[in-house]
């Protein structure tokens, strides 16, 4: 009986610790998200203002008209999910030239690794990302195996008691 009470106390203290950590993480997430949103909103306004002022037709507008136009346009942009980087984005030349299907790609690794790279939609001969995905997958499998083993031990000890 005393053993069960100790186990219950330990589990309740663990639950309280986990609940506190989850609460702390959510609080930090919300605070950082609101800070990032405030920065993004101001950045959007300044980008819209710069775009308006770069137009020669804005020279005849008063400051109040420009402010009203900035507020209206940035409000509409925010509603549609447009960011400042969307406004200032310019297409750039790709670092890797497009290759045709028949043209072999240059890959310094075995064909299997290059094929996996291409299958995941990655370009270039770097195998860092596929390797990282493999390592993370192996770690996930190890965690799942440990959870199953822990569950089996608890179930076995419960049946013995």
The yes-or-no verdict on residue 8 having pLDDT over 70 is no
* Residue 96 located in a structural domain: no
Residue 101 is predicted with a pLDDT of 52
Q: Verify that 80 and 120 share a domain, yes or no.
A: no
State how many domains the chain has. 2
Question: Residue 22 is part of which domain span?
Answer: 1-89
The yes-or-no verdict on residue 124 having pLDDT over 80 is no
Q: Where are the alpha helices (DSSP H) in the chain?
A: 2-54, 63-80, 84-88, 111-119, 128-160
Residue 56 DSSP label: G
Residue 80 is predicted with a pLDDT of 85
Q: Verify that 5 and 50 share a domain, yes or no.
A: yes
Residue 151 is predicted with a pLDDT of 87
Closest CA to 111 of 97, 121, 100, 125: 125
Mean pLDDT value of segment 142-161 = 85
Q: Verify that 85 and 117 share a domain, yes or no.
A: no
Tens-digit pLDDT profile for residues 64-109: 999 999 999 988 988 888 878 788 877 776 665 555 454 555 676 7
Mean pLDDT value of segment 131-140 = 89
């Amino acid at each position: 009986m005393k053993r069960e009470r100790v186990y219950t106390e330990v589990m309740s203290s663990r639950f309280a610790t986990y609940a506190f950590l989850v609460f702390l993480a959510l609080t930090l997430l919300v605070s950082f998200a609101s800070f990032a949103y405030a920065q993004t909103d101001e950045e959007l306004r300044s980008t819209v203002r710069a775009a308006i002022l770069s137009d020669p037709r804005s020279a005849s507008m008063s400051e109040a008209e420009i402010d009203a136009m900035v507020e209206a346009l940035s409000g509409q942009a925010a509603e549609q999910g447009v960011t400042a980087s969307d406004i200032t984005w310019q297409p750039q030349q790709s670092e890797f030239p497009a290759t045709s299907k028949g043209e072999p790609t240059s890959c310094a690794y075995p064909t299997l690794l290059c094929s996996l790279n291409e299958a995941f939609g990655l370009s270039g001969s770097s195998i860092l990302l596929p390797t990282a995905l493999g390592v993370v997958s192996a770690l996930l499998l190890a965690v799942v195996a440990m959870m199953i083993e822990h569950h089996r031990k608890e179930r076995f000890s419960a049946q013995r008691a």
